[in-house]
Amino acid sequence: MKILFNVTVESLETKINRQILVDENIELATLCEFVIVSMNGEKILMYDLEYDEVTYYSYITENVENEKNMFDLTLKDLKLTKNSIMHINYNFYEEYCFELKVEETIKSDLENQKIDFKLLSGKGYGIMDNVSPYYLKKLLDGKNKRFITQISKNKKEYLQKKFDIKETNDRIEAYQKQRKMRFLPQKYIFNVSLEGFNKEIKRKIAVNSNIIIDDFCRNVILSMNGDLFHVYKMNINKEYLDEFFEDLELSYLDLKEKQRLKIIYDWGDGWQFNVTLRKIENGYGPKEFEVLSGKGYGIIDDCGGLWGLSRIFSGEDDSWGEYDINDFDLEKCNEKFK
- Beta-carbon-side half-sphere exposure of residue 242 (alpha carbons within 13 Å): 15
Task: Give tens-digit pLDDT for 167-195.
Answer: 999 999 999 988 888 889 999 999 999 99
The pLDDT assigned to 113 comes to: 74
Q: How many domains does the chain have?
A: 2
Identify the segments of the chain with pLDDT beneath 50: none
pTM summary value: 0.76
Domain identity same for 218 and 288: yes
Q: Tell me the C-alpha distance between 204 and 198, whole Å.
A: 13
Q: What is the domain-level CATH number for residue 224?
A: 3.10.290.30
The pLDDT assigned to 149 comes to: 58
Domain identity same for 178 and 204: no
**Rounded to the nearest 5 degrees, what angle is found at the Cα of 217, between the Cα atoms of 48 and 293?**
145
Q: Tell me the C-alpha distance between 24 and 236, whole Å.
A: 36
Domain identity same for 65 and 208: no
Task: Give tens-digit pLDDT for 221-269.
Answer: 999 999 999 999 999 988 888 777 778 899 988 899 999 999 999 999 9
Last residue of a domain, one of 138, 163, 182: 182
The pLDDT assigned to 130 comes to: 83
Last residue of a domain, one of 182, 197, 218: 182
Q: Which of 48, 43, 11, 246 is nearest to 138 (CA)?
A: 11
The pLDDT assigned to 147 comes to: 56
